[in-house]
Amino acid sequence: MKNTVLVIGSGGREHALAWRLAQSETVKYTYVAPGNAGTATEANMENVNLDIADFIQIENFCRQQNVDLVVVGPEQPLVAGIVDHLTEAGIACFGPSAAAAQLEGSKAFAKAFLKRYAIPTAAYEVFTEVEAACTYLQQQSFPQVIKADGLAAGKGVVIVQDIPQAEAVVKDMLADNKFGDAGSRIVIEEFLQGEEASFICMADGKDFISMATSQDHKARDDGDQGPNTGGMGAYSPAPVVTDTIHQRVVDEVIKPTLEGMQTEGMPFTGFLYAGLMIAADGTPKVLEFNVRFGDPETQPIMMRLKSPLDQLCLAAVKQELGTEAIEWDQRFALGVVMAEQGYPEAYQSGHAITGLESLEQWQDCKVFHAGTKVNDGKTVTAGGRVLCVCAVDESLQQAQQKAYAGLAKIQWGSAYFRQDIGAKGIRHLSES
Ligand code: AMP
Ligand code: GLY
């Protein structure tokens, strides 16, 4: 039987998931809601203008089109219960229930969970009152990390260097409601030293399969400077995650998390993403959980995935992941995000993008769209992160060169990108 698939979301992650799904021999057709200019032009794929917060509309569409599998990209519909709704309606939807999605939906929930199961993470306290938070901060050494409790689109985390800055952030979040309800509770935690890595697996409630390792680049500017963003580029595999560290993450983080969620009656199905800080001695600590695939980690990881993604997702929904195997392209993949100047703060949109067609025939190179749309037949920018130019090659350096060579063909007036995606990985490889 061939599957009709619906991907929920409109970013680079969703373009990459939909592209990989559409290539499976068992996928007949792929819908993306609402999608972008990239998903609009893929073969056997179509954008549908659904409101991704309206689960009844999505359910009706799935019934009309006989959708066999729904794959959810972003966190908001997961936290709001899309999987519970569609599962109840008898539609296979890969992702966590609303209860399980609290691992991302509430940082206070995630931190308390980590503590209950002695899973390594930064020491922390939770506050709802400005005064108590400020009294606590006066007794701490700096830097400290202040996090809004709820979803804040990657912008709810501030690293503070001294007491005046810390007090200003606490007031912004708790008193001035800068993050709305998401900031009515805050977590203050210890600043961890080390190198970040993303560890993503697919889980079916009890069993899991690790995805290829990857490293994101969260800061906007070269050398990890500038404000935090959703991610400016990524590569896979990530040499910082050695075999020994991989095993430690599985044993010390992933297994106890899945067991704990099962014990608490909210088994976790879906992509589980642990954002990790790896200390110099190789100790991994959890910075955060995401209950979905990373963006832009998805883009290079999907370039390397050889197994049919629809089959893996359907096996997970049926709790049969334990018998599945996963196959990867052994080469390196690297993706560089092209953003609008000004992102993650104010930026313009509506600029026409040129040069995309010149990459269509390039082998092992793929441009995933994020904030794009079609206007009068032209592809124009329509978001902060606009494209992710990805390449696969034998070495990380070659993948990096190919991705940047591809990127050089693409232009619009106010394009911005980091010049050093992959540099840390190349450094690791040259030292080992
Ligand atoms: P989060 O959304 O919690 O992952 O935080 C966003 C980013 O802030 C992370 O990717 C890190 O770069 C940084 N960060 C968060 N928590 C810490 C911490 N405890 N120590 C150092 N950096 C952190
Ligand atoms: N790239 C980080 C994230 O998806 O949260």
Identify which of 124, 215, 288, 295 to mutate to test ligand 1's pocket (most ligand atoms within 8 A of the CB). 288
- pLDDT at residue 154, rounded to an integer: 64
- pLDDT at residue 183, rounded to an integer: 62
CA 311 / ligand 1 centre spacing (Å): 34
SS3 breakdown of the chain: % helix, strand, coil, rounded to 5? 35, 30, 40
CA 199 / ligand 1 centre spacing (Å): 15
CA 57 / ligand 1 centre spacing (Å): 36
Residues 6+ away with beta carbon under 8 Å from 73 = 7, 8, 9, 11, 13, 14, 17, 292, 293, 295
With a 6 Å cutoff on the Cβ, whether 287 touches ligand 1 is yes
With a 6 Å cutoff on the Cβ, whether 14 touches ligand 2 is no
CA 232 / ligand 2 centre spacing (Å): 10
With a 6 Å cutoff on the Cβ, whether 294 touches ligand 2 is yes
Q: Indicate the DSSP class of residue 174.
A: I
- pLDDT at residue 150, rounded to an integer: 81
CA 31 / ligand 1 centre spacing (Å): 34
With a 6 Å cutoff on the Cβ, whether 219 touches ligand 1 is no
With a 6 Å cutoff on the Cβ, whether 285 touches ligand 1 is no
- pLDDT at residue 275, rounded to an integer: 94
Query: Which helix (DSSP H) or strand (DSSP E) does residue 381 occupy?
Result: strand 378-381
Identify which of 75, 198, 277, 287 to mutate to test ligand 2's pocket (most ligand atoms within 8 A of the CB). 198
Query: Which helix (DSSP H) or strand (DSSP E) does residue 239 occupy?
Result: none
C-alpha distances (whole Å) from 1 to each of 21, 27, 68, 311 are 15, 9, 10, 11
Looking from the CA of residue 216, the nearest atom of ligand 1 is 10
Nearest residue to 427 (alpha-carbon basis) of 189, 202, 224, 140: 224
CA 157 / ligand 2 centre spacing (Å): 13
With a 6 Å cutoff on the Cβ, whether 335 touches ligand 2 is no
Looking from the CA of residue 191, the nearest atom of ligand 1 is 20
The answer to whether residues 387 and 402 touch, using CB atoms and an 8 Å cutoff, is no
Tell me the ligand closest to 290's alpha carbon. 2
Tell me the ligand closest to 11's alpha carbon. 2
- pLDDT at residue 151, rounded to an integer: 80
List, run by run, the mean pLDDT of 10-residue segments along the chain (432 residues). 96 98 98 98 97 98 98 97 98 98 94 96 93 93 91 80 94 80 83 93 96 93 93 95 95 98 98 95 95 96 98 97 94 98 96 96 96 95 98 98 98 97 94 78
The answer to whether residues 333 and 322 touch, using CB atoms and an 8 Å cutoff, is no
CA 64 / ligand 2 centre spacing (Å): 33
CA 354 / ligand 2 centre spacing (Å): 27
Nearest residue to 36 (alpha-carbon basis) of 328, 280, 385: 385
Tell me the ligand closest to 149's alpha carbon. 1
- pLDDT at residue 1, rounded to an integer: 79
CA 365 / ligand 2 centre spacing (Å): 22
Nearest residue to 82 (alpha-carbon basis) of 73, 312, 263: 73
